[in-house]
Amino acid sequence: MIVKVLNKSGMPLPAHATALSAGLDVRAANETPVVLPPLGRAMIPTGLYLEIPAGYEVQVRPRSGLAAKRGITVLNAPGTIDADYRGEVCVILVNLSAEEFVVERGERIAQLVLARHETIEWETADALSGTSRGSGGFGSTGTK
Q: Which domains does the chain have, with CATH numbers?
A: 4-116 (2.70.40.10)
Tell me how crowded residue 62 is: count the other CB atoms within 10 A of its CB. 22
Q: What is the rounded distance in angstroms from the CA atom of residue 138 to the CA atom of residue 70?
A: 29
Report the DSSP beta bridge partners of residue 90.
45
- What's the confidence (pLDDT) of residue 134? 87
State pLDDT tens for residues 44-58.
Answer: 999 999 999 999 999
> pTM of the full predicted structure?
0.89
SS3 65: helix
Low-confidence stretches of the chain (pLDDT beneath 50): none
